[in-house]
Structure 1
Amino acid sequence: MSHFVADQLKFVRRQAVDYVRNITDSASEIIPTGLKNNIKWNLGHMYVIHEKFAFQLTGEETKYPANFSKLFDPGTNPSDWDTEPPTLSQLIDLLTEQMERVESVLSSKLKEEINPHYKSSTGLSFTNAEQLLSFLIYHEAMHFATIKNIKSIIESD
């Protein structure tokens, strides 16, 4: 799928995945003082929101692993987890596979209208897959920056 929005989205995802490859599973679960989430939560949240925007809202098949909504939906946080989260390695595999699905499933449908149109909680309206993927660039980059911040805090302690 050679399309600017899709290429940018793959770039941001690849940057995030490459950045966390050498973090230990235990380090990915540290919640720095003053924050609500950890690296693992941010990665799982990226996966969940990507499923919603890239697949659910476009009418395509979603792949939510067991307990992912409970663990990683907006408003959740690791201090409330009562079930074992996936390992960092499992998250990396899921995030990588997810981008492959975006490419294979949506490459020819970027301009197709979604029905119903989607209006975000902040009032932003989306009418096609390309717009949804464009939003995901912002979302992924925001969480990648958070991951980098958390790692920096962990390393300075």
Structure 2
Amino acid sequence: MNLSTTRQTRANFIRLLSGMSLEAVNHIPEGFNNNLIWNFGHIIATQQLLTYSLSGLEPKVGEEILAAFRKGTKPEKVHTTAELEGLKRLAESTLDQLEADLEAGLFQTFESYPTSYGVELTNIEEAVAFNALHEALHLGYAMALKRAL
């Protein structure tokens, strides 16, 4: 499975965050309900849940990442530079791991999942494809958020 679109979206997201202050990435502008760092963490957490969790496999990120950034959460704290840098590393390493695990054939089962986007995911291929769309959607949202700062 090709992850090039997802890799490019994540590279674009990192470029968007590049050079921004910690205060800026944590700030929630008026009219928004989250911030740049939440959107970035959210794409990582969601990818793990859509691929690993729905396949009955253990996510490759810690529960603290999933708890802070999964669907239905909102920014609850000010994140540190170390946390932002950790998310940047996870953005790359989680895709490397997913690619290796896909090639190894680890994804044998899948729990059907109706997304809030209106798409029913029934297998790992659909989950990977939908995830690319989901990440692009959040990159666009983050671009709007950055303009509002």
Taking structure 1 as the reference length, what is the TM-score of the superposition?
0.80
Equivalent residue in structure 2 for 1:118, among 113, 118, 130: 113
CA 1:116–1:76 in 2, change beyond 3 Å: closer, same or farther? closer
Amino acid at match of 2:64: N
Q: Does 1:94 align with 2:90?
A: yes
Partner of 2:71: 74
CA drift of 1:53 comes to 1.0
- Gap runs ≥5 in structure 1: none
CA drift of 1:134 comes to 0.6
Identity %: 25
CA drift of 1:144 comes to 0.4
CA 1:66–1:129 in 2, change beyond 3 Å: closer, same or farther? closer
Partner of 1:25: 22
Partner of 2:9: 12
Partner of 2:100: 104
Partner of 1:127: 122
CA drift of 1:151 comes to 1.2
Distance (whole Å) between structure 2 residues aligned to residue 89 and residue 36 of structure 1 = 23
Larger Rg: 1
Amino acid at match of 1:139: H
Alpha carbons 1:9, 1:137 under 8 Å: kept: yes
Give the CA RMSD over aligned residues: 2.3
Partner of 1:142: 137
- Gap runs ≥5 in structure 2: none
Distance (whole Å) between structure 2 residues aligned to residue 114 and residue 13 of structure 1 = 27
Taking structure 2 as the reference length, what is the TM-score of the superposition?
0.84
Corresponding pairs, count: 147
